[in-house]
Structure 1
């Protein structure tokens, strides 16, 4: 067994690599630039984590996803692998300490958010580190035509100049041909070895159904397929409501969204991964790092905003190679709602400027100030104060986040505020009696020297790192100190924080990024058009449509999607169901559920017959979702 397989077995307990992983790793270890496009669930992170362990020195990983950085660093540390994450919101002093650790502490992986490369001093420090591999994750973010373009990624182009002999590994799950060429050009790796796995997921049946009652159809689907399922929705309210309705229908369900606390997320995730519930209803916050092989169905009951996100979310089904279903349920009203939800709420330059100025006013940041300041944030309160539309404001803040002007974290967190209430000599006496708490208390006092005079907001992760302990143990010590009236202790929950990554410069800041706003808005329009084309095209194999979007040609129909299945059905003009529906509708107008009960026919046959009758203009649908014969 070679060294890479030994590492895979030792740390991940896998006996063999999947797909193109082995070839990519071999190319990287041969010190060659590499471009790897692997579909969601293809195991991209292994492609740089194994080389990081197999050679001396440090692997630098550039990733825009702060939550993914945190997850990966935590998971690596649990395996005994030394890794550090350097994201926004970390002070310059703390960042400097972390980089010292990378230089002298034999660390294997340094994760960096792209905004950090905009600081010249960090770039200078990186030059002194023993970096033997640079991995650019989510590399499509470097292209202005890519999903979720981030100008901060353009700074990565300088790394090739500073590290000309260091191989670069560019990784993505969803790049169109145009985006792929952009990645190679901007990273200056035009001669890179290309590894691309086809976007074709032959075991996934892509199903698109027009329905009048989505909840009724959803219950039918998960009842018929009782294996593990994911239902994707657009917002937190729908997440909770759909989960509740499924539970009332006798389906074991839970939910997951960005506003849950870490404990709630872990609890709900465990219920689903351990098969205690069948269905998890989730927003797009759910998915990163999820590798559950036996997901049978992924169901979207609202239109996605792009084919890239749809492909990634749908691709969380069938990772075990067994037949799986990616179902998209839609109704005629969805198209207008999608335009309202995705296009009419896109901010223009004037609105973006207003939001940026008001954010600074809201947090009392003066002109030329604010860099690295962190604030808890309630979007609804902010919008109410300035009478801004919520969705449009959210999109403006998200755009500022992607540009690196600020970092908007929607992860639930606790803000811990502490002040010491007893004199320092009494604190010293307490530590002498409780030596196991001394390192943590001393760390707090050194990190926050004014904590005797005024309350300080603690960074528990920083304290835990400095004291070489865990966040849970720090929290436990704080609670004990509070119970003994040694400190005042206040914990407030928030599901959103904002960190300002640069000084306030108002119009000058917005003028710098306004061209990217115009490009983004145009791209969002085209992406939605592609989704609508996928949904409304009824005479082409759904798998072919997806592959065509990503620049692949599929010659044969997949044979298992909703279009291909329709080809196998007996023409309905002469079928019993077709005639029965016409007969029943001659006397009254009815919805599909009532027709199913009267006709005692399978749901899919009734729905298919209704769609055929609608297309042939034999019947029409009324505003109350009932069908009647065409007059």
Structure 2
């Protein structure tokens, strides 16, 4: 394993492997099928990247996440390691070029989605590649009981027939015992070596606080812990609102959500990574590939959809091993809101049928047609036209995406189309007089031979690569050509694109996947119940609750979570504080902040005693979130 360590030092600048990485790499190098459960921050990517670099050939990486694929390819390329990703929206000609590069260009990594393996010609091309390892990332997607089931993952096992001697490595960060069994069975892993890292994060204090004034509590937490922090919210509007409120309180804060352009995302993320700002307020679009070691606090101000997502997001705290906090702030109305957010907006078969029918009509796709057609898409406009509820429609589209029926790209993008307006001989004359523009113009003409006849969709990244110029340089040339009326050039920003992966068959299409829809809806309800249990259970250590969910049974309490802290309050102190609160409430109704200020006690103690008084029917919470004595 000296060679493996040398590669780790050379490319990743680390002197030693993290827990289990060494063992997983050794298993893969021995040619053994391997299953690895490594919670977030465990360093899964190194487990397949190191052995792939040590062997001749190329590593095939199957992943459902476009953003993660792009991130990993960019990271490998920065280390001068040749890697390619076959993501959505790539034309067939480009795909052929990329696969040619894999075959003849000494590439080490090929990333693709499981849906790509359903294309026969792509599978045939892959079969001819010198594959040295097949890595299945986010392997829980193969299980109907995983939190992001994708039927296309079930086809991955077919690769076993074509590569019987190539080891499979299945990786996941979150899997219950039932999902783990499914992964091994459905992928056809042969006598796999199994490595499971504990979900325990001993340095993270899991805190749950029920209160009415969340901003006030966030202000207290961030002043007490001025290190880098993440605040997770449910939607884009909350990102802006919470970020603005924190700035008005004197904090340096920025925000991150899926509706930002790539440039804005990078700018905001870097200002947080470089610690120009303390706080980033984000939706769950933020986090993939983020590995900032000194995050002190991760705060959720709304209930998460499931424990799996919560664990991953909370686990971005404390990766340097120092004490960190994962804090979930709840209020009595959150459970109702969560039900509205996650359960009431689940599409049933009837709605899915109708939405799919209207989606095809919206783009004028005829029955029996539509495969590989791509369209720009505005969800708001679509929902307005057909009077569909937005969230239910979005969930229906996401379900169709996971089933591989469509590909929904939510990457903020700039669509460029252009056409040459002057004859080819005049273009050649222009090139001879403007030699600095020659490489770019010739790359365009070679790539798009029909560009004289019609407006042609233009791939900026591809031309940048082929002409060996920066994207900004190409845009400058296009601007100049437009000003000289040599080309007609249009640029339009899109919120999303939809690619149809199958021909339109209406109810037949939906009937084929409706069983999966029923299972997924049932699973989502069970998962939300587990979240309710996590926040409402006041007699068990929070760390225990999380570990139990993932099948780990422990006896000892963590000693640092919100439950364990309240246990440390002396009975005498509880009795005194209870009497003090009752005395105050005899005079007037108060909210928890008022009680905290008047009693000069810390927030945790006040919340604990208020909960005790509520449970024992001494007090009530009024609709205005003030506590009052029960008459």
TM-score (norm 2): 0.97
Is it true that 1:475 corresponds to 2:479 in the alignment?
no
SS in structure 2 at match of 1:45: helix
Match of 1:560 in 2: 560
User: 1:291-306 to 2 correspondence within 5 Å?
Assistant: 291-306=291-306
User: 1:152-231 to 2 correspondence within 5 Å?
Assistant: 152-231=152-231
Contact 1:140–1:147 under 8 Å retained in 2? yes
TM-score (norm 1): 0.97
Give the superposition deviation at 1:224: 1.3
Q: Per-residue CA shift, 1:51-108, capped at 9, x if unaligned?
A: 1211110100000001111111122122211111112322222222211111111110
SS in structure 2 at match of 1:457: strand
Give the superposition deviation at 1:436: 4.0
Contact 2:372–2:500 under 8 Å retained in 1? yes
SS in structure 2 at match of 1:149: coil
Give the superposition deviation at 1:120: 1.4
Q: Which segment is superposed worse, 605-614 or 171-180?
A: 605-614
Separation of aligned partners in 1, 2:262 and 2:562? 38
Give the superposition deviation at 1:538: 0.6
Q: Per-residue CA shift, 1:417-454, capped at 9, x if unaligned?
A: 22223332222122223334323222222332332233
Match of 1:145 in 2: 145
Contact 2:566–2:604 under 8 Å retained in 1? no
Q: Which segment is superposed worse, 158-167 or 356-365?
A: 356-365
Q: Per-residue CA shift, 1:542-600, capped at 9, x if unaligned?
A: 11111111111111111111111111011267544322222221111121222333334
Separation of aligned partners in 2, 1:573 and 1:297? 28
User: 1:112-511 to 2 correspondence within 5 Å?
Assistant: 112-511=112-511
Q: Per-residue CA shift, 1:196-250, capped at 9, x if unaligned?
A: 1000111110001111111111111111111111111111111111111111111
Is it true that 1:45 corresponds to 2:36 in the alignment?
no
Q: Compared with structure 1, are the counterparts of its residues 380 and 6 closer, same or farther at alpha carbon in structure 2 (3 Å cutoff)? A: same
Give the superposition deviation at 1:455: 1.9
Contact 2:367–2:503 under 8 Å retained in 1? yes
Separation of aligned partners in 2, 1:146 and 1:433? 61
Q: Per-residue CA shift, 1:285-316, capped at 9, x if unaligned?
A: 00000000000111111001111101100100
Q: Compared with structure 1, are the counterparts of its residues 574 and 206 closer, same or farther at alpha carbon in structure 2 (3 Å cutoff)? A: closer
SS in structure 1 at match of 2:346: coil
Contact 1:175–1:550 under 8 Å retained in 2? yes
Separation of aligned partners in 2, 1:8 and 1:433? 50
- For structure 2, which runs of at least 5 residues remain unmatched after alignment? none
Give the superposition deviation at 1:497: 1.4
Contact 2:566–2:605 under 8 Å retained in 1? no
Q: Which segment is superposed worse, 502-511 or 197-206?
A: 502-511
Match of 1:578 in 2: 578
Match of 2:31 in 1: 31
Give the superposition deviation at 1:468: 4.1
Separation of aligned partners in 2, 1:168 and 1:140? 15
SS in structure 1 at match of 2:255: strand
Q: Which segment is superposed worse, 395-404 or 8-17?
A: 8-17
Q: Per-residue CA shift, 1:95-124, capped at 9, x if unaligned?
A: 222111111111100001100111111111
Separation of aligned partners in 1, 2:621 and 2:574? 22
User: 1:100-111 to 2 correspondence within 5 Å?
Assistant: 100-111=100-111
Aligned Cα root-mean-square deviation (Å): 1.5
Contact 1:591–1:627 under 8 Å retained in 2? yes
Separation of aligned partners in 2, 1:21 and 1:175? 18
- For structure 1, which runs of at least 5 residues remain unmatched after alignment? none
Match of 1:547 in 2: 547
Q: Which segment is superposed worse, 567-576 or 218-227?
A: 567-576
Q: Compared with structure 1, are the counterparts of its residues 367 and 572 closer, same or farther at alpha carbon in structure 2 (3 Å cutoff)? A: farther
Give the superposition deviation at 1:469: 4.0
Separation of aligned partners in 2, 1:470 and 1:46? 30
